[in-house]
Amino acid sequence: RPLRPGSFVVFSFIRSFCVLLEIEMAASNFHAAIYGLVLVLTIHAVLCTPSVSVPRCDKQSAHINGFVLDDGSGRSPDQFTSVSVCYNDSFLHIEFSLQDTYIFSDFQNCNDPLYKEDVVEIFLSPDGSFPHNYYELEISPNGVLFAASVYNPSETCGNFNDTMLQCASSGIGWRAQRNDAQNRWWASVDFPLFLLHIDARAGASIRGNFYRIDQVSAAAAREYSCWSSTHAVPPCFHKPLYFGTLTLV
Protein backbone atom coordinates (compact mmCIF):
# COMPACT_ATOMS: atom_id res chain seq x y z
CA ARG A 1 0.00 0.00 0.00
CA PRO A 2 1.37 3.47 -0.82
CA LEU A 3 2.20 5.95 1.91
CA ARG A 4 -0.02 9.02 2.34
CA PRO A 5 1.62 12.20 0.93
CA GLY A 6 2.22 13.79 4.33
CA SER A 7 3.54 10.54 5.77
CA PHE A 8 5.86 10.16 2.79
CA VAL A 9 7.40 13.60 3.40
CA VAL A 10 8.07 12.79 7.07
CA PHE A 11 9.34 9.34 6.16
CA SER A 12 11.70 10.78 3.52
CA PHE A 13 13.07 13.42 5.91
CA ILE A 14 13.76 10.93 8.69
CA ARG A 15 15.26 8.46 6.23
CA SER A 16 17.60 11.12 4.82
CA PHE A 17 18.69 12.09 8.33
CA CYS A 18 19.33 8.44 9.20
CA VAL A 19 21.40 7.96 6.03
CA LEU A 20 23.62 10.87 7.08
CA LEU A 21 24.10 9.28 10.50
CA GLU A 22 25.05 5.97 8.90
CA ILE A 23 27.58 7.65 6.60
CA GLU A 24 29.11 9.40 9.60
CA MET A 25 29.30 6.15 11.55
CA ALA A 26 31.00 4.43 8.63
CA ALA A 27 33.78 7.04 8.38
CA SER A 28 37.04 5.70 9.76
CA ASN A 29 38.01 8.97 11.47
CA PHE A 30 34.66 9.03 13.28
CA HIS A 31 35.30 5.66 14.91
CA ALA A 32 38.21 7.21 16.76
CA ALA A 33 35.81 9.48 18.66
CA ILE A 34 34.22 6.83 20.86
CA TYR A 35 32.05 9.22 22.87
CA GLY A 36 30.72 10.74 19.68
CA LEU A 37 30.01 7.25 18.37
CA VAL A 38 27.97 6.36 21.44
CA LEU A 39 26.00 9.60 21.08
CA VAL A 40 25.23 9.08 17.40
CA LEU A 41 24.31 5.42 17.94
CA THR A 42 21.91 6.51 20.67
CA ILE A 43 20.35 9.15 18.39
CA HIS A 44 20.07 6.58 15.61
CA ALA A 45 18.35 4.07 17.92
CA VAL A 46 15.84 6.69 19.09
CA LEU A 47 15.00 8.37 15.76
CA CYS A 48 15.69 5.72 13.13
CA THR A 49 14.37 2.51 14.69
CA PRO A 50 11.02 1.58 16.30
CA SER A 51 10.40 0.87 19.95
CA VAL A 52 7.71 -0.96 21.90
CA SER A 53 6.76 -1.26 25.57
CA VAL A 54 6.45 -4.93 26.56
CA PRO A 55 4.07 -5.75 29.44
CA ARG A 56 3.99 -8.83 31.66
CA CYS A 57 2.05 -11.71 30.13
CA ASP A 58 -0.40 -11.86 33.05
CA LYS A 59 -1.57 -8.34 32.11
CA GLN A 60 -1.57 -8.15 28.32
CA SER A 61 0.69 -8.27 25.26
CA ALA A 62 2.24 -5.60 23.07
CA HIS A 63 1.06 -5.88 19.47
CA ILE A 64 3.04 -5.06 16.34
CA ASN A 65 0.47 -5.06 13.56
CA GLY A 66 1.84 -5.14 10.06
CA PHE A 67 5.37 -5.37 8.72
CA VAL A 68 7.14 -3.23 6.10
CA LEU A 69 9.34 -4.39 3.25
CA ASP A 70 13.00 -4.64 4.18
CA ASP A 71 14.17 -2.44 1.27
CA GLY A 72 13.44 0.84 3.07
CA SER A 73 10.54 1.84 0.81
CA GLY A 74 8.10 1.94 3.73
CA ARG A 75 5.62 -0.19 1.76
CA SER A 76 3.63 -3.09 3.13
CA PRO A 77 4.18 -6.68 1.96
CA ASP A 78 1.49 -8.60 0.08
CA GLN A 79 0.52 -10.72 3.10
CA PHE A 80 -0.16 -9.54 6.64
CA THR A 81 2.02 -10.36 9.66
CA SER A 82 1.40 -9.48 13.29
CA VAL A 83 3.55 -10.07 16.36
CA SER A 84 2.60 -10.05 20.03
CA VAL A 85 5.21 -9.78 22.79
CA CYS A 86 5.07 -10.12 26.58
CA TYR A 87 7.26 -11.45 29.38
CA ASN A 88 7.12 -13.33 32.68
CA ASP A 89 9.70 -14.08 35.35
CA SER A 90 11.66 -16.41 33.08
CA PHE A 91 10.84 -15.86 29.42
CA LEU A 92 10.21 -13.34 26.69
CA HIS A 93 7.14 -14.67 24.85
CA ILE A 94 6.84 -13.83 21.14
CA GLU A 95 4.00 -14.98 18.91
CA PHE A 96 3.56 -14.49 15.16
CA SER A 97 0.24 -14.66 13.29
CA LEU A 98 0.56 -14.78 9.51
CA GLN A 99 -1.68 -14.65 6.50
CA ASP A 100 -0.29 -17.04 3.89
CA THR A 101 -2.04 -18.21 0.72
CA TYR A 102 0.95 -20.35 -0.30
CA ILE A 103 2.67 -22.03 2.66
CA PHE A 104 6.02 -23.27 1.38
CA SER A 105 8.03 -25.30 3.90
CA ASP A 106 9.61 -28.75 3.70
CA PHE A 107 12.44 -28.69 6.27
CA GLN A 108 12.14 -31.07 9.23
CA ASN A 109 15.34 -30.92 11.29
CA CYS A 110 16.82 -28.58 13.91
CA ASN A 111 19.07 -25.92 12.36
CA ASP A 112 18.13 -26.74 8.78
CA PRO A 113 18.56 -23.71 6.44
CA LEU A 114 15.00 -22.53 7.08
CA TYR A 115 15.63 -19.13 5.44
CA LYS A 116 15.44 -20.83 2.03
CA GLU A 117 11.66 -21.30 2.44
CA ASP A 118 8.80 -19.65 4.35
CA VAL A 119 10.01 -18.66 7.81
CA VAL A 120 9.79 -16.09 10.59
CA GLU A 121 12.94 -14.84 12.28
CA ILE A 122 13.71 -13.22 15.63
CA PHE A 123 16.93 -11.39 16.47
CA LEU A 124 17.52 -10.44 20.13
CA SER A 125 20.43 -8.65 21.81
CA PRO A 126 21.05 -7.29 25.33
CA ASP A 127 23.83 -4.99 24.13
CA GLY A 128 22.12 -1.59 23.96
CA SER A 129 23.87 0.87 21.65
CA PHE A 130 26.24 -1.82 20.32
CA PRO A 131 24.00 -4.83 19.56
CA HIS A 132 26.64 -6.79 17.65
CA ASN A 133 26.20 -9.88 19.85
CA TYR A 134 22.75 -11.33 19.34
CA TYR A 135 20.67 -14.47 19.04
CA GLU A 136 19.07 -15.48 15.78
CA LEU A 137 15.97 -17.69 15.88
CA GLU A 138 14.00 -18.99 12.92
CA ILE A 139 10.74 -20.96 13.03
CA SER A 140 9.14 -22.66 10.06
CA PRO A 141 5.42 -23.37 9.50
CA ASN A 142 6.18 -27.01 10.31
CA GLY A 143 7.48 -26.11 13.76
CA VAL A 144 11.19 -26.53 12.99
CA LEU A 145 13.64 -24.31 14.90
CA PHE A 146 16.95 -22.76 13.86
CA ALA A 147 18.87 -21.19 16.75
CA ALA A 148 22.30 -19.55 16.82
CA SER A 149 24.33 -16.99 18.72
CA VAL A 150 25.90 -14.41 16.42
CA TYR A 151 28.77 -11.95 16.60
CA ASN A 152 28.51 -9.39 13.80
CA PRO A 153 30.50 -6.14 14.17
CA SER A 154 30.55 -5.64 10.38
CA GLU A 155 26.80 -5.05 9.95
CA THR A 156 26.77 -7.36 6.91
CA CYS A 157 25.28 -10.69 5.88
CA GLY A 158 28.58 -12.01 4.58
CA ASN A 159 31.03 -11.54 7.44
CA PHE A 160 29.72 -12.68 10.82
CA ASN A 161 30.45 -15.54 13.19
CA ASP A 162 27.60 -17.76 14.38
CA THR A 163 27.44 -20.72 16.73
CA MET A 164 24.54 -23.14 16.39
CA LEU A 165 22.57 -24.01 19.52
CA GLN A 166 21.21 -27.48 20.14
CA CYS A 167 17.47 -26.96 19.88
CA ALA A 168 16.38 -29.51 22.48
CA SER A 169 18.86 -28.38 25.16
CA SER A 170 18.87 -24.63 24.44
CA GLY A 171 16.19 -23.78 27.00
CA ILE A 172 14.15 -22.18 24.21
CA GLY A 173 10.50 -23.17 23.86
CA TRP A 174 8.81 -23.01 20.47
CA ARG A 175 5.66 -24.07 18.67
CA ALA A 176 4.09 -23.59 15.25
CA GLN A 177 0.94 -24.67 13.46
CA ARG A 178 -0.15 -24.26 9.85
CA ASN A 179 -3.68 -24.19 8.47
CA ASP A 180 -3.44 -24.39 4.70
CA ALA A 181 -7.23 -24.48 4.29
CA GLN A 182 -7.57 -21.11 6.04
CA ASN A 183 -4.42 -19.61 4.46
CA ARG A 184 -2.65 -18.89 7.72
CA TRP A 185 -0.09 -20.14 10.19
CA TRP A 186 1.28 -19.08 13.55
CA ALA A 187 4.47 -19.57 15.54
CA SER A 188 5.52 -18.79 19.09
CA VAL A 189 8.79 -18.68 21.01
CA ASP A 190 9.57 -18.54 24.72
CA PHE A 191 13.09 -17.15 24.95
CA PRO A 192 14.91 -17.45 28.31
CA LEU A 193 15.72 -14.06 29.80
CA PHE A 194 18.90 -15.43 31.38
CA LEU A 195 20.38 -15.85 27.88
CA LEU A 196 19.98 -12.08 27.47
CA HIS A 197 21.57 -11.41 30.88
CA ILE A 198 18.60 -9.35 32.07
CA ASP A 199 16.14 -9.65 34.93
CA ALA A 200 12.37 -9.62 34.53
CA ARG A 201 11.98 -6.06 35.77
CA ALA A 202 10.37 -2.91 34.47
CA GLY A 203 12.87 -0.71 32.67
CA ALA A 204 15.06 -3.49 31.31
CA SER A 205 15.54 -3.20 27.56
CA ILE A 206 16.37 -5.53 24.70
CA ARG A 207 17.44 -4.64 21.17
CA GLY A 208 15.89 -6.80 18.47
CA ASN A 209 13.99 -7.23 15.25
CA PHE A 210 11.33 -9.48 13.76
CA TYR A 211 11.39 -10.71 10.19
CA ARG A 212 9.49 -12.77 7.68
CA ILE A 213 10.53 -14.46 4.44
CA ASP A 214 7.54 -15.38 2.29
CA GLN A 215 7.19 -17.18 -1.01
CA VAL A 216 3.94 -15.46 -2.01
CA SER A 217 3.20 -17.93 -4.81
CA ALA A 218 5.03 -20.60 -6.80
CA ALA A 219 5.84 -18.09 -9.55
CA ALA A 220 6.36 -14.93 -7.49
CA ALA A 221 9.61 -13.55 -6.11
CA ARG A 222 10.21 -14.00 -2.39
CA GLU A 223 9.19 -11.15 -0.09
CA TYR A 224 11.38 -9.97 2.78
CA SER A 225 9.54 -7.98 5.45
CA CYS A 226 10.22 -6.91 9.01
CA TRP A 227 9.34 -4.72 11.99
CA SER A 228 12.34 -2.41 11.53
CA SER A 229 13.55 -2.09 7.95
CA THR A 230 17.27 -2.61 7.38
CA HIS A 231 17.10 -0.61 4.10
CA ALA A 232 19.12 -3.33 2.39
CA VAL A 233 19.08 -4.15 -1.34
CA PRO A 234 19.56 -7.07 -1.82
CA PRO A 235 17.80 -8.05 1.43
CA CYS A 236 19.95 -8.51 4.54
CA PHE A 237 18.50 -9.02 8.01
CA HIS A 238 21.88 -9.12 9.76
CA LYS A 239 22.09 -5.38 10.40
CA PRO A 240 21.95 -4.89 14.19
CA LEU A 241 22.22 -1.11 13.77
CA TYR A 242 18.53 -1.28 12.79
CA PHE A 243 17.37 -3.36 15.74
CA GLY A 244 14.39 -1.80 17.48
CA THR A 245 14.08 -1.48 21.26
CA LEU A 246 11.83 -3.60 23.47
CA THR A 247 11.41 -2.11 26.95
CA LEU A 248 9.89 -4.21 29.73
CA VAL A 249 7.17 -2.39 31.70
Task: State CA 212 to chain mean position distance.
Answer: 8
Predicted pLDDT at 28? 46
Minimal CA–CA distance to 249: which of 209, 200, 189, 207? 200
What CA–CA distance (Å, rounded) separates 16 from 37?
19
Q: What is the mean pLDDT of each run of 10 residues along the chain (249 residues)?
A: 50 60 52 48 63 96 92 90 98 98 96 97 86 94 97 85 95 97 98 95 94 93 93 89 93
Condensed to tens digits (0 to 9), the pLDDT of residues 90-115 reads 999 999 999 999 999 999 999 999 99
Task: State CA 15 to chain mean position distance.
Answer: 19
What CA–CA distance (Å, rounded) separates 240 from 86?
22
Contact yes or no for 115/138 (Cβ under 8 A): yes
pTM for the predicted model, two decimal places: 0.83
Predicted pLDDT at 2? 44
Predicted pLDDT at 44? 54
Minimal CA–CA distance to 95: which of 49, 64, 134? 64
The torsion angles phi and psi of 131, rounded to 5 degrees, stand at -80, 55
- Residue 3 CA neighbour count, 13 Å, CB half: 14
From the DSSP assignment, how many helices (H) and strands (E) are in the chain? 3, 14
Contact yes or no for 106/141 (Cβ under 8 A): no
Contact yes or no for 228/18 (Cβ under 8 A): no
- DSSP states of 189-239 as a string? EEEEGGGGT--S-TT-EEEEEEEEEEE-SSSSPEEEEESS----SS-----
Predicted pLDDT at 53? 97
